[in-house]
Chain A
Amino acid sequence: MFTATATRAPHSDVPTGHKPAEGRVGAGLFDPKQLVRSLPDAFRKLDPRVMVKSPVMFVVWIGSVLTTVFSFKDPGDWFGWAISAWLWLTVVFANLAEAVAEGRGKAQADTLRKAKTDTVARRLVGGAEEQVPGTDLRIGDLVVCEAGDIIPGDGDVVEGVASVDESAITGESAPVIRESGGDRSAVTGGTKVLSDRIVIKITTKPGETFIDRMINLVEGAARQKTPNEIALNILLASLTIVFLLAVVTLPPFADYAGTHLTMVVLVALLVCLIPTTIGALLSAIGIAGMDRLVQRNVLAMSGRAVEAAGDVSTLLLDKTGTITLGNRRAAEFVAVSGTTEAEVADAAQLSSLADETPEGRSIVVLAKEKYGLRERHQGELVGAAWIAFTAQTRMSGVDADGRSIRKGAAGSVVAWVEEQGGTVAEDAGAVVDRISEAGGTPLLVAVHDDRGARVLGVIHLKDVVKDGMRERFDELRRMGIKTVMITGDNPLTAKAIAEEAGVDDFLAEATPEDKMALIKREQAGGKLVAMTGDGTNDAPALAQADVGVAMNTGTSAAKEAGNMVDLDSNPTKLIEIVEIGKQLLITRGALTTFSIANDVAKYFAIIPALFAAVYPGLNSLNIMGLESPDSAILSAVIFNALIIIALVPLSLKGVRYRPVSADKMLRRNLTIYGIGGLIAPFIGIKIIDMLISLIPGL
C-alpha cells in the first residue's frame, strides 16, 4: 500500500494550461514581427516545385505569371500591373502563413539541436571500454555513462541507477531517477547523467533517436498530409476546377454578348472565386496544430494521431495521478465503543509520526486541521521508541510512557492486539466494513496500556479526487466523450471513486489484458479510444488505442507503442490533446466555410463590372455601389489577398474552442464564419474601393 516513491519532481495537480474561466485551448501568442522575419522563406517558397503541393495556390501562381506576362505586352496598362502585383502578393501571403507557422517550430528545433551535439560514447566491448562517436552506435551496443556524461543515444539502463537531467527535452529542471529493470529504465539520447554510473543498451539507430524525431516534428520536415487534410484538399481542388470551368468558358459567352474579356480580368475573376483563403492557410493550420501540442510538451508522432484525438469518443484514464491525487488521505477518525474521537485522533497522530509515507503525513495533517492537535515531533517524547512503517509489518507506532500505540492495516493491527492479549471491540469490524464499502481504506488504531490491549478506532483513508475533475468530465460528456476510469482497486472502491469523480464508467482490478479487451470492445463499436500509459505492460494497449499517449517517464516500449509522448508525464493532459485535435478540425472547417461564403460578394463586385457595359441592367447587381469596373475588380482582388494575412493569426491560434455539444458549436461557428463570411467581403471590398477611388488619376 505505501510504496509510492516519487522518481521525479511531482507535477502540479492542476491540469496545465487549462483555465476553465478562459474556456479555450490556450494558444501561442502571435507576434506580427514573425511575418517580417519569415518573409525570405515566403519568397523562397515561390519555387513552382514547392507551390505545386498546394493545388489552389498553384493556380494563383500560374495566374500571376500569366497576368505579369500580359502586363509586359501592354506596359502602359496600370490595371494589369496592379492586378499582377496583388496576385503575386496573394501567393506570397499564403507562403508567409506557412513560413510563420514553420518558423515557430524552428526555434524549438534549434534548442533541441544544441542538445544533440556530437557526443563521444564509451562503448563496452567484451568488458573493455572504447571511445567511439555517438553516430557509430548500433542497436544492441552497450555504453557506459557516468556523472557529467551526455547519454549518446536512446536506450534502456541495464545496470545501475543514476539521476539524469532531462531538461534538454522536457524543459523540466528537476533531475529524474533512471534505473535498470522496471518501468524507469528508459533513457533518451542528449540528456545528461548527473550522478552515479549506468550501463545503457542502445535501442535506436543514430538519426532515428527520439531527439531526431522531435527535431523533424517541430520543424515540420516530417509533416505528411493527414487523412482529413487530404480529403479537404480534394474538395478544394474540385471547387477550383469548377470555378476554372466557369471562367474559361466565359470568353465565348462574352464575345457573343459583344464584349471582350482580357486575360488579366479572367485571371482576377478566377483567383477571386477559387477558395484561396483556406487554400493559403491550410498547411499553416496543420503545422500550428502540431505546434500547439509541442507547446504543451506533447509530441505527436503523426498528424494523423492529432486528428484522431479530435474524434475520440472514449477516454481511458488511470485513476491514480489522473483522476485522484497520487495518494490516499485521511478523511475522518471513527471511534469504536468506549472511546472518543479525540482519543482516536490523539493516538492516530502519535502513531503516525514515525510514518513518513504521504498517507501517514495526511493523518497528522487531519489531526491538526480537524481536531486542533498540535503537530508533535519525534524528539518531544523523551525515551519514546518509534516504530517506523515498513511494507512488511504494515504498521507504525510508538512505545512511550508505558503505552504502546499502533496504527496500520486492519489485519496487522488485529493480529497485534490479539498477540498482546487484548480483544477487538465488536463494532470495529462494522466500521471497517462500512469504510471499505464506501471505497475507502480503513486503518485501525490500537493501544496497549494499563487497561490492556484494545482497538481505539478507525482511520478512514480515501482517495482524493482532484479539484475540478467532475466539471472536466461533465464537459467531456457534453462533447460526447465517454470517460472510463481504470484502476487496480476492487470494484467497490472503484465504484465509489467513479461516482465521486463523475466518470461514466470504470474498470476495476484492471489487468493489461482487461484494458486491451476494453479498448477492442469499444473499437468494435466504432469508437475511437484514447489512453495514457507508461509501463511496458501498457505497450500493447497503447498500440491498440487510436490515441496512445506515453508518459516520458515510461519505458521505451511504451513510448514506441504510443503515437504521442507527453514530456511532462501528466496523464490529465489527454483531455487537452483531445481539445487540440478538435480545434484543428474546427479551424479548417471554419476557414473553408468562410472562404466559400466570400465568393458571393466577389461575384456581386466583378460580374457587373465585366458586363454592365453591354447589359446595363446588370448594374443593379452592383449593390455595393463600386466606383468603376477597374476599381471593383481590383478591390475584390485586394480583399482576397488581404484576408489571408488578416486570418494568419487565427489559423495559427486556432478557432476559439468551447466544450459544448456539436449543435451549439455548429450554430456558433456557422454564424461567425458562414454568415460572417457572407457579409465581411461586402464591407471589405466597399472600403477598399473607396480608398482606391481616392487615388488621383484613376
Chain B
Amino acid sequence: MGPVLAGFLQLLALIGALALAYVPLGNYMAKVFSADKHWRVEMWVYRGIGADPDAKMRWPAYLRGVLAFSAVGVLFLYLLQRIQGVLPGSFGFSSIEPAQAFNTAASFVTNTNWQSYYGEQAMGHIVQTAGLAVQNFVSAAVGIAVAVALVRGFARSRTGELGNFWADLVRGTIRILLPGAAIAAIVLVACGAIQNFSGIHEVGQFMGGSQQWNGGAVASQEAIKEFGTNGGGYFNANSAHPFENPTPFTNLFEIFLLLVIPFALTRTFGVMVGSVKQGYAILAAMCTIWLGFVVLMMWTEFAHHGPALQAAGGAMEGKEVRFGVGSSSIFAVSTTLTSTGAVDSFHSSFTGLGGGITMLGMMLGEIAPGGTGSGLYGMLIMAVIAVFIAGLMVGRTPEYLGKKIGSREMKLAAIYILITPALVLVFTAISMALPTPPHSMLNSGAHGFSEVLYAFTSAANNNGSAFAGLNANTDWFNTMTGSAMLLGRFLPMVFVLALAGSLAEQKPVPVTAGTLRTDKPLYAGLLVGTIVVITGLTYFPALALGPLAEGLA
C-alpha cells in the first residue's frame, strides 16, 4: 500500500469515527447544559467556591465570571511557577523567570498552550499536574461555556439571561471533559503512553552516549491536551514524542480527540436552538474547510520535487516515520484548524505552501471546527456576518435563527472580527520593525519572516503550535505573545457575550418563505466563501511575503 492510499484510508477511518461520535456526544452535551439537576459532587464544588449555580446571569455577570475565574487562574499559575524551586517533585528544576512564567500562565489559561520552555527540562510534577493539567480542563470548559451562552442567546427570547457561568464551567469539566479524558487516557496507556511519577532516567543510546528520560503523568495530560484542544505537550517534542504518542493508532486517536468536541458542539447547537439542521449547516461549513485543507496539505506534502523528497515518498523532513506524510498532514491541519496546537511533526519543516496552510488555518480564526467552544462561537460570528450580507440580498433585514441582525449586533460582530487580525498584524509588524526581535529567527528570508508571523498568529488565535526555529524565550516574545494570547482570548469573549445578551433580549421573527434559509447547502457554501474572502484576504499580503514567497519559489 502506497503512502498516499494509506493517508486517505486513515482520513476515512477518522471521518467514520467522528461521524459515529457526532450525534451521541452532541446530544449529551446539549443535555448537560440544559439539565436542571446538579450532581452531588458539583454541589460540593459550588459550596467550595461560594457560587450559586441557579442564579440567572445576564451577559455582564456571565462575563465577570469568565474574567474573574481566568484572572485567578493566571495568577495562580504564575505564582506556582515562580515558587517551583521550593516545590517537591520538581526534579530539581528552578523557579521559572517572570517573563516566561507570565507567558506560560497566559498560555495555559487561554487554552493556547504555547510553550516557550522545554517541558521535560523546566516543569516538575506539581506544576505539570496541579497547574498546567488543571488549566487544560478548565480553560477548555470556559470556552465551551461561552459558546453555550451564545447558543442560548439565539435560543432564548425576551430575556437577557444566558444561564449560569459557574454551572456551565463545572458541568463542562465534570460531566464532559473529565470522563472523556479518563477514557482517552486509559486508551493511550493501553497503547503504550506512559503514566507514572518517576524521576529522570539515564538511558544508554544505540550509538553510544546517553540520554535523559523523564517519567510523568503523561497519558492523562495527553488525553486532555487533545480532548480540550489545548496542545501543551508534556515533552518538548509534543505528540511526536513516543511517550506521548506511541503508535500510528494513537496518532489517529489523538486527532480524533482534538476534533470530536468542536465538531459535536454543532450538534449541541442544533439541538439547543431547536433545529439540528441549523447545526448541520454549520458542520457542513466546518467540514468543507477542514477537508479542503487536509486534501490541500496532502497534495503539497506528497507532491515531491527533488530527489530527496522523491526517495522518501513525500516531504518527510520534520515528520515522524511512524506516522508518515498522510497522517502528519491530517494532524497538522487539524491542530491548526482547532485551537489545539499539539504537533506530531514540525510545521516549520513542511513545504513552503504546507507551512502556509497551517498558518492560514489559524488565521481563519480557528473555526473549522476550532477550539472547544471557541470554534463554535467564532463560526457563529462569521455566520452572523454572512447572514448580514446574504440576508440583504433576499430583501429583508438580515436575521439568523429568528433574531434580527441590527446595528447593535453588527457592531459587536464587526469588532470581534477585527481583534485577531489586529493583534497578529500589529504585533508581527512591531517585531519586524524593532532591531532586536528579529534576532530570534533561526532562518533568514521568507522562512524567517514566517517564524515570526506564525508565532503571533498562533498566540493571538490561541493555537499554541510553533513554527520551530524561532527562539521565543526572550523577554520580548514572552511578553508580546503572552499579551496576544490574553487579548486574543478574552477580548473576543466580551463581544460574543454582549452579542448573546443582545440576541436573547429580542423577540423571535417567524420563519416565512421570504426568510433566508440558513439550514441549506447554499448558505453553508456562502458561509465558507465569506470566511475565506473576508478573513483570508486580510492576511494575503503577509502570507505572500512568507510561505507563498517560499512555496512558489
Partner-B contacts on A (CB < 8 A): 227-228, 230-232, 234-235, 237-239, 241-243, 245-257, 269, 273, 307, 310-311, 313, 477-482, 524-527, 581-583, 585-586, 588-590, 592-593, 596-597, 599-600, 603, 607, 610-611, 614-618, 620-621, 657, 661-663, 665-667, 669-670, 673-674
CA distance A482 to B512 in the complex (A): 9
Report yes or no: B513 in contact with A235, Cβ–Cβ below 8 A. Answer: no
Minimum Cβ distance to chain B for residue A679 (Å): 14
| Contact between A527 and B545, CB atoms less than 8 A apart | no
A663-B522, A670-B526 known; A249+B425 contact, CB < 8 A: yes
- Who on chain A is nearest to B408 by CB? A231
CA distance A311 to B404 in the complex (A): 11
**For residue A234, which residues in chain B have a CB less than 8 angstroms away from its CB?**
407, 410-411, 414
User: Are the CB atoms of A249 and B449 closer together than 8 Å?
Assistant: no
Contact between chains at A253 and B449 (CB < 8 Å):
yes
**Bound complex: CA A693 to CA B208 (Å):** 68
B538 & A311 in contact (Cβ 8 Å cutoff): no
Question: Is B507 positioned at the interface, with any CB of A under 8 Å from its CB?
Answer: yes
For A618, list chain B residues within 8 Å (CB): 544, 548-549, 552
B428–A665 contact, CB under 8 A? no
* A477 → chain B closest CB, angstroms: 7
Does B9 have its Cβ within 8 Å of any Cβ on chain A?
A: no
Tell whether, in the assembled complex, residue A589 and residue B390 are in contact, meaning their CB atoms are under 8 Å apart: yes
Prevailing SS type, chain B contact patch: helix
Cβ of B539 under 8 Å from chain A: yes
A368 CA to B421 CA, complexed, in Å: 80
Q: Which of B411, B523, B542, B553 contacts A249 (CB 8 A)?
A: B542
Within the complex, the shortest CB–CB distance from A207 to chain B, in Å, comes to 31
28 interchain pairs, CB-CB under 8 A: A228-B392, A231-B407, A231-B411, A234-B410, A238-B415, A242-B418, A242-B421, A246-B540, A256-B438, A256-B448, A256-B449, A257-B549, A310-B396, A313-B514, A526-B402, A527-B509, A582-B395, A585-B396, A588-B392, A607-B540, A611-B544, A620-B552, A661-B513, A662-B515, A663-B516, A665-B395, A669-B394, A670-B390
| Contact string against A for B residues 435-448, beta-carbon threshold 8 Å, 1 for contact and 0 otherwise | 00010000001101
- Asked if B405 CB lies within 8 Å of chain A CBs, one says yes
| Bound Cα distance from A243 to B425, whole angstroms | 11
B517 adjacent to chain A (CB < 8 Å): yes
B19, CB-defined interface residue at 8 Å: no
Q: B118 → chain A, closest Cβ, in Å? A: 28
Which of the listed residues B396, B397, B509, B523 has the most CB atoms from chain A within 10 Å of its own CB? Answer: B396
CA distance A172 to B359 in the complex (A): 67
Chain B nearest CB, measured from A161 CB (Å): 45
**Structural contact, B542 and A479, CB atoms closer than 8 A:** no
CA–CA, A233 and B445, complex, Å? 40
**Among the listed B389, B438, B552, which residue makes an inter-chain contact with A593, where contact means beta carbons less than 8 Å apart?**
B389
Q: Knowing that A242-B417, A480-B515 are A-B contacts, what are 15 other residue pairs whose CB atoms are under 8 Å apart, sorted by A's residue number? A: A228-B407, A231-B407, A234-B407, A249-B425, A253-B541, A256-B432, A480-B513, A585-B397, A603-B540, A603-B541, A662-B514, A666-B516, A669-B394, A670-B526, A673-B393
B507 to chain A: closest residue by CB: A526
Chain B residues with Cβ under 8 A from A254's Cβ?
545
A12 CB, min distance to chain B CBs, angstroms:
27
- Asked if B89 is at the interface of the complex by the 8 Å CB criterion, the answer is no
Q: Determine the distance from Cα of A582 to Cα of B552 in the docked complex, in whole angstroms.
A: 46
Bound CA–CA A23/B523 (angstroms): 26
Q: Which residues of A contact B292 (CB under 8 A)?
A: none
In the bound complex, CA of A611 to CA of B534 (Å): 22
Which residue in chain B gives the minimum CB-CB distance to A616?
B553
Interchain CB contact under 8 A, B393 and A670: yes
Q: Does B433 contact A (CB under 8 A)?
A: yes
Question: What is the CA–CA distance of A257 and B543 in the complex, to the nearest angstrom?
Answer: 12
Contact partner of A246 (CB less than 8 A), chosen from B417, B421, B522, B553, is B421
The contact of A230 among B407, B445, B513, by CB within 8 Å, is B407
- Bound: A254/B425 CA distance, A: 13
Contact B418 A615 (CB under 8 A): no
Complex interface bits, B295-309 against A, C-beta within 8 A gives 1, otherwise 0: 000000000000000
Contacts A310-B397, A586-B395, A662-B514 known; A245 to B426 CB distance under 8 Å? yes
Quick one: closest B residue to A241, CB to CB? B418
The answer to whether A480 and B418 have CB atoms under 8 Å apart is no
Which residues on the A side are within 8 Å of B464 (C-beta)? none
Q: Does B232 contact A (CB under 8 A)?
A: no
Given contacts A228-B397, A480-B515, contact A617 B552 (CB under 8 A): yes
Known: A585-B395, A607-B544, A618-B544. A479 touches B534 (CB 8 A): no
Chain B residues, CB < 8 A from A582: 394-396
- Expressed in whole angstroms, the Cα–Cα distance for A562 and B533 within the complex equals 43
CA distance A663 to B517 in the complex (A): 7
Give the chain A neighbours of B395 by CB distance below 8 A. Answer: 310, 581-583, 585-586, 657, 665
Quick check: A252 and B410 within 8 Å, CB to CB? no
**Minimum Cβ distance to chain A for residue B539 (Å):** 7
Q: What separation, in Å, do the CA atoms of A674 and B430 have in the docked complex? A: 36
* Complex Cα gap A525–B541 (Å): 48
A313 pairs with B537, CB closer than 8 A: no
**Would you give the shortest CB distance from A383 to chain B, in whole angstroms?**
65
Which of A232, A251, A599, A621 meets B552, CB within 8 Å? A621
- The answer, yes or no, to whether B429 is at the interface (CB within 8 Å) is yes
The answer to whether A242 and B538 have CB atoms under 8 Å apart is: yes
Cα(A248)–Cα(B422), bound, Å: 11
> Does residue B520 face the partner (Cβ distance < 8 Å to A)?
yes
Whether B533 and A480, one on each chain, are in contact in the complex, defined by CB atoms closer than 8 angstroms, is no
B433 near A252: Cβ-Cβ < 8 Å = yes
Q: Tell me if B406 is interfacial: C-beta within 8 Å of chain A.
A: yes
Say if the beta carbon of B215 comes within 8 Å of chain A.
no
Once A235-B385, A526-B507, A615-B446 are accepted as A-B contacts, the answer to whether A662 and B394 lie under 8 Å apart by CB is yes
CA distance A621 to B76 in the complex (A): 50
Contact check, B432 vs A253: say whether CB atoms are below 8 A apart: yes
Among residues of B, the one whose C-beta sits closest to the C-beta of A247 is B541
**Residues of chain A contacted by B529 (CB below 8 angstroms):** 674
Query: Which residues on A sit within 8 Å (CB–CB) of B256?
Result: none
A175 CB to nearest B CB, Å: 39
B508 touches A (CB below 8 Å): yes
Query: In this assembly, does B88 line the interface, its C-beta being within 8 Å of a C-beta of chain A?
Result: no
**Which residue of chain A lies nearest to B428 when distances are taken between CB atoms in the complex?**
A249
**A609 CB to closest chain B CB, in angstroms?**
11
CB contact list, B484-518 vs A, under 8 A: 507-510, 512-517
Report which of B394, B396, B414, B445 forms a contact with A237, defined as CB distance below 8 A.
B414
Taking the closest CB of chain A, its distance from the CB of B439, in whole angstroms, is: 13
Provide the bound-state CA to CA distance between A482 and B417, in Å.
37
Q: How far is the CA of A614 from the CA of B550 in the complex (A)?
A: 11
Q: Is the CB of A586 within 8 A of B539?
A: no
Interface pair A252/B542, CB less than 8 Å apart: no
Q: Could you give, for residues 380-400 of chain B, a 1 whenever the CB lies within 8 Å of some chain A CB and a 0 otherwise? A: 000001001111111111000
| Most chain A Cβ neighbours within 10 Å, of B414, B428, B445, B534 | B414
Contacts of A585 in B (CB 8 A): 392, 395-397
B396 touches A311 (CB 8 A): yes
Chain B residues near A526: list those with CB within 8 A. 402, 507-510
B400 to chain A, nearest CB (A): 13
B422: which A residues are within 8 A, CB to CB?
A: 241-242, 245
**Top 6 nearest A-B pairs by Cβ distance?**
A589-B392, A480-B514, A582-B395, A480-B512, A617-B552, A238-B414
- A479–B391 Cα gap in the complex (Å)? 14
Q: How far is the CB of A516 from chain B (nearest CB, A)?
A: 19
The docked-state distance in angstroms from the alpha carbon of A238 to that of B534 is 11
Q: Are A231 and B388 in contact (CB under 8 A)?
A: yes
Q: How far is the CB of A527 from chain B (nearest CB, A)?
A: 6
Q: Which of A247, A480, A597, A663 sits near B520, CB closer than 8 Å?
A: A663
Q: Which B residues lie within 8 Å of A592 (CB)?
A: 389, 392
Residues of A within 8 Å of B537, CB to CB, are 243, 246, 273, 599-600, 603
Please name all residues of chain A whose beta carbon is closer than 8 Å to the beta carbon of B508 when the two chains form the complex: 526
With both beta carbons as reference points, the residue of chain B lying nearest to A236 in the complex is identified as: B414
CB distance from A311 to the nearest CB of B (A): 5
Contact between chains at B425 and A245 (CB < 8 Å):
yes
Give the distance in Å from the alpha carbon of A607 to the alpha carbon of B539 in the complex: 12
